[in-house]
Structure 1
Amino acid sequence: MRVLKELCRQPAGLFGLVIVVTVVAMAIVAPWLAPFDPDNQMFDGLTLEGAPIPPGGQFLLGTDTLGRDLFSRLLFGARTSLIIGLVANGVAVTIGLFVGVMAGYLRGWAGSLLMRFTDLMMAFPALLLAIVLAAILKPSLWIVAMVIALVNWVQVARIVYTETRALVERDFIMAERALGAGHARIVVLHILPHLVPTAIVWGTLGIATTVLLEATLSFLGVGVQPPQPSWGNIIFESQSYFQAAPWLVFFPGAVILLTALAFNLVGDALRDILDPTQRGRG
């Protein structure tokens, strides 16, 4: 509750929170809120010349090149993008926490080996690596989520490693060791609780990156495959109509931008609230 109250006191954080809650709520109620089936190719969804219908009338945001309602597809696309964002980022944070804690706590050759592997993963451009993995595997919602997770954990691991190295030198950890506490007890009861704020902040910030990466993969044709809607493949399917029907690119692009911005604003606000070095400043 304290975190929520402080978050609401920050205008940028509150704005981001409102957008996030709105997008999540619309994704949840999409089956009831969408006026049409997102995959339904309607006869009256195209003009006599076979062109998409512009926004207005019964089609709030217009139709796409196949006569499908764009508003309905954006709502269901939000479900796809957010599911991938949450799952992929959750897995990435979990992997990053495990690798970072183990490397920082064990140190020695084991810690060095884990961090050299992390450095090796960081040396590959994340987008290029994701494209290669997605192209090798058969793209689907869950495959795309796992691919994104496999390229996004390294930043979390680096941050957690640094914090863990500092924690293991603290007096209370030394005292636990002197009292004979086991490694599992020290890690679970005394190190992980101190890393929860970091995990929350990076988990929130990472969703924005994940949503953008999913949209990029789908736009390039190696992400979520049609007819399942995602914000990225909606743009991919409509890119050739950019000049004739600009709303087909503008609306999904605006939604991606706004959602990524909202998660970044919330993540920045949470960092200021949960970071002990920021408390008492103002």
Structure 2
Amino acid sequence: MRITADLGRSHRWTLHCGELPGGRQVFVKRAADVGVDFASEAAGLRWLGEAGAVAVPEVVEVGGDRLVLGWIETGAPTDEAAERFGRDLARLHRAGADGYGAPWPGWIAELPMDNGPAADWPTFYAERRLLPFVRLARDRGRLSDDEVRSIESVISVLPEISGPPEMPSRIHGDLWSGNVLWSKDRGAVLIDPAAHGGHRETDLAMLALFGAPRLSRIMAAYREEAPLAEGWRDRVPLHQLHPLLVHVCLFGEAYRSSLLEAVNRTLALS
């Protein structure tokens, strides 16, 4: 394989366009930092792809220092593609999971996540997604003791405010708009997953957090395919707490007010 173009970098990896010996174009992630392991991302892509619902890139190769994926030729989102994505996302979620969590280590951006199993979603969300990042934000000096206590108040009432119990869904886990590529020939293609068995409302809340294009079309088609439990709109801030905590841990003050607003809206559910 030869690299044909450099596409960008972070302090942990570099992004490239490559070409295989037969001329096939591929996307390449290379480790730029010791300890980067792409095995979890590859496992998540394959697991999502097994559902045969939303398109994901083919995992061409994964090694200790690089991940090679099939190239996605991007285009512009259309109403038709958005509606198809909504229906396909519902089918992905409906494919289900063996339980809450995943058998591979979790990552979101550069931060590790515990994907260990839990008996139910409130326990999983509290112990695997909220508490570790609350502690990290506190330790980095980005949340005060009072703010930590407010989030702990949310955690204490999670079983009462999380809605009717549902079976674990097969979710992307980091479904902000930047992780949805709109391809020219395949519609929506999901990339960079933090895939695990979780709550389907988590993916939907993440799509809303940073404004996916044609979100109303996506949601209408999703709800036709798989109606949501009563009160799902009110629970959107609850499911946004984790990604907002991640952003506070990574970027600090810029996301603190959004996090605290979501905390207050979530507490109003109790």
TM-score (norm 2): 0.23
- Larger RCO, structure (CA 8 Å, separation 6 or more): 1
- Say which structure is richer in helix: 1
Question: TM-score, with normalisation over the residues of structure 1?
Answer: 0.22
